[in-house]
Structure 1
Amino acid sequence: MDAEQTDAQLWAAVVRGDGIAFAAMFDRHGDRVWRHVWRIMQHRQDTEDVVSATFAEAWRKRARVRIVDDSILPWLLVTATNCSRNASRGRRRLDRLIAHIPRGGDAPDAADVVGDRQAADDAKVAVSRALRALPPADASLIALVMLEEVPLADAARALGMGYGAAKTRIHRARGRMRVQLEAAGVAPALEEVP
């Protein structure tokens, strides 16, 4: 775009859908619009949101934008003021809504939440390692019965073994897993399976 082009000339290209001309208009007037909105909003993120909304409106209404004294800036500033008012009203509505939300108890300490997640992740890793250490049939039996909560009789049938053999295998596998998990510092409940 030619820097010597007037706003009216550039805007004529914008009306035809020229994105490069629109970018040139943003480059030409974006800082002025930003400063204007900053004076109203006094918050960086809100200011950026309103400037974006202003230029989005300019693009959306490009055929109806009024150019004053060969400049689009007055239209942009009026639109920015209106967008700022809308944003402020929206912020007040949100603040009122939040004020009416019943407060729950104290939130847990973020460090405790992270610690709990790390402990859970460590337990998952330990269980995964313990399962991989088992013979494949025993690992499949443990996974079906203890992790997926499939009844032992159904798991035995799915794995092609008798109920008595499955009961013996799961008992032994549970014992081996318990030893490995305790060595890893993890002691999940490996309850008895009927």
Structure 2
Amino acid sequence: MNTPTETDRELWDRACRGERSAFGDLFDRHARAVHNFLFRRTASWADAEDLTSAVFLHAWRIRSEVVLHHDSALPWLLGVARNLAANSGRALQRYQALRARLPAPAPSPDHADDVAARLDDERAMAALLRAVAELPERDREVLELCVWSGLDHQAAAAALGVAVGTVKSRLHRARARLRGLVVVGQTADDTRSDAAADRRSPITKEAS
């Protein structure tokens, strides 16, 4: 049984001994963080959900081969999520093929308001990802782990397999460059908005 004092490493050891409930506790602890990380990578709730399931399915399959070097399993899980997101097409195909062999779940009601909110979230995230995509990949990964996923420098270094000092320098550079990109993007948006307003303005038409 999971207790508040159990570390992820202790739960992982129990899972390696075949205790599915221990692995379920790990899922409950970290599924939201993994899902949020993947949503920020894909800008798609559906893909993020499927990839999250793929991350934990992979973790269960190779659990006996994994040695956690920290009390938290989250850095390792996010490292797996990062790799699956980078190869999301193949990862999703494998997961969806497996899911197709399982019994279909009971249908659930579709709430239009929830669907609309999720689409708005996806559009907003897609816009943010376009700005973040201008960063070099190595800087973008550190930003995603430290700022979006809340890992400290040491945990991010473990997820990426680099030194802590490297994480710090990349994060500083990413923040500086992203601030510049946002300012440039806002200026461009303002210019486009002003131009559109001029085209619609009756004063402009009369003056011409």
Q: What's the TM-score, normalizing by structure 1? A: 0.45
Larger Rg: 1
Q: What's the TM-score, normalizing by structure 2? A: 0.42
- Between 1 and 2, higher relative CO (CA 8 Å, sep ≥ 6) is seen in 2
